Structure 1
């Protein structure tokens, strides 16, 4: 896999920031935790600085791994906080250039992949727990099991959409043909993901 790398300077602390993912829209400084948005060839600081605390995850930025015999690289992470705690979502790019998200929540893991960008008019209160929905006729009929609101606590590495620490994020969980579904409604990302739960012994990490 060929990687084209560019170097930027953090607009907050001046530290170097490596850019290797062409689709990145947010880059986070490893030194000070400043989130920046990539605009053409410049970085623009967005929100307050926030370094994520490491709670002993098996994943880390730059790590190589394989899932279902497909190799990937961990490029980024976003942490979402709610009243009862938080969960992490790790952004990965497979060697065939497909993208995925590893949801890590209290020792449970799901590999999600985006299947549909949703219209921005969809709101979490449109989705009713215990009912079927087609997401305003945008996707297949899905059973909604849970809805929630969270806050973007911060990010790490390279992310494919813009985030600002502290901004709101709404979510809905569901089931589609026996597989978990996640609907994510952030200011710069409204999308539907379908996942595959896995145990750590079902994934290889370098």
Structure 2
């Protein structure tokens, strides 16, 4: 069962759906709180969602291939090319992941505990060492979190800007995010839209 807390801003119930959640957005008032595993700490920030069409939605369930999943939250980023969405999901038998949605394309990435180079000095076309992988750099840039809802597994807040490096190593996609909290590396695979099956909504 979810561990139920209450929003420190409006008092509404906030069931924590995963013990690895770090950021929680209230469904009622939009207030954003940090979660340390025991209590909610209000940040004083609130969110309004950018309207981006998507087959996914908060609390959606379904399957990716043969594995069931549930959507716990999402963050929306704005960059020079427009917007992309990162859905924080829990996959049966595989743990937590981010389902990245960008212009109808999907990738499933998971956090990895590996080393990565500093952002400065890296250019598109470079080959960099990420853990034991030689990664071809495809894109570098900056993006701002412009919306969020539900519960997220990284400590990133609306209004914050990240720097990122995206690349690939063979068939593996690599994304490195540079935030005030440090450097995080994610790796995974592209997912065909046809492989994502979403259950009918129940009321």
Determine if the TM-score, normalized by the shorter chain, exceeds 0.5: yes
Provide the aligned length of Structure 1 versus Structure 2.
199
Match of 1:192?
185
- Residue 204 in structure 1 maps to residue 201 in structure 2: no
Secondary structure of the corresponding residue to residue 120 of structure 2:
helix
Residue 167 of structure 1 is matched in structure 2 by 160
Given the superposition, is the C-alpha separation of residues 47 and 150 from structure 1 closer, same or farther in structure 2, using an over 3 Å criterion?
A: farther
Q: CA offsets, 1:102-138, max 9 Å, x none?
A: 111111111112233446xx43224221111104xx3
Contact (CA 8 Å) 2:48, 2:147: kept in 1 or not? yes
Structure 1 residue corresponding to 2:129, chosen from 108, 129, 134: 134
C-alpha separation in 2, matches of 1:189 and 1:205: 34
Unaligned runs of 5+ in 1: none
**Is the 2:50–2:147 contact (alpha carbons within 8 Å) kept by the matching residues of 1?**
no
With structure 1 as the length reference, what TM-score do the two structures score?
Answer: 0.87
Partner-residue secondary structure (3-state), 1:201: helix
Q: Which runs of 5+ in 2 are unaligned?
A: none
Contact 1:80 1:87 in 2 (8 A): yes
Structure 1 CA distance for aligned equivalents of residues 186 and 170 of structure 2: 13
Name 1:33's counterpart in structure 2: 30
C-alpha contact (below 8 Å) 2:125/2:137 kept by paired residues: yes
Instruction: Give the match for residue 107 of structure 2.
Output: 110
1:57 maps to 54
Which runs of structure 2 are paired with 1:8-19 in the superposition (5 Å)?
A: 8-19=5-16
Contact 2:50 2:76 in 1 (8 A): no
- 2:142 is aligned to 149
